[in-house]
Amino acid sequence: MPVRLAIVDDHILFRKGLRALLSGYVGIEVVCEAGNGQELLELLDQGSRPNVVLMDMQMPILDGLQTTRLLRTQFPAVRVVIISMHDDPSLVSTVLAEGAHSYLVKNTSPEEMRSAVLAAAASTGQ
């Protein structure tokens, strides 16, 4: 069964690029996209069921950290992979402590991103 992935980033070109890249991998199906955490939560409330969310850290309305906290309580089976342009060890520690499965910087390789998504899905028991 493929990993059901949601991509959340406020930059539409980046989000579409991630979708094109990750959809090309066997075993990953992008089921939804959102421009911020609030949009993602609305999609989940409407029945969209990703098991992994690849999410930007800095977004308007609800950022990656706030959304991770909400996902942990409202949708505990969903795993979060944070992607950010900031490589700050204290930020990484905070995000992981709040429930994210992993943290990637935006200059990571496509293969590292694929591996992080698959590892997060594996932690759900899928």
Q: How far is CA 116 from CA 68, 103, 122, in A?
A: 16, 9, 10
Give the global pTM: 0.93
Q: Is the dihedral of CA 10, 4, 120, 96 positive or negative?
A: positive
Tens of pLDDT, residue by residue, the chain (126 residues): 899 999 999 999 999 999 999 999 999 999 999 999 999 999 999 998 999 999 999 999 999 999 999 999 999 999 999 999 988 888 899 999 999 999 999 899 999 999 999 999 998 655
CATH number of 3-122: 3.40.50.970, 3.40.50.2300, 3.40.50.720, 3.30.70.980? Answer: 3.40.50.2300
Q: Is the dihedral of CA 88, 95, 36, 33 positive or negative?
A: positive
Domain residue extents for the chain = 3-122
73, 92 in Cβ contact below 8 A? no
pLDDT score of 124: 64
C-alpha count within 13 angstroms, C-beta hemisphere, residue 122: 7
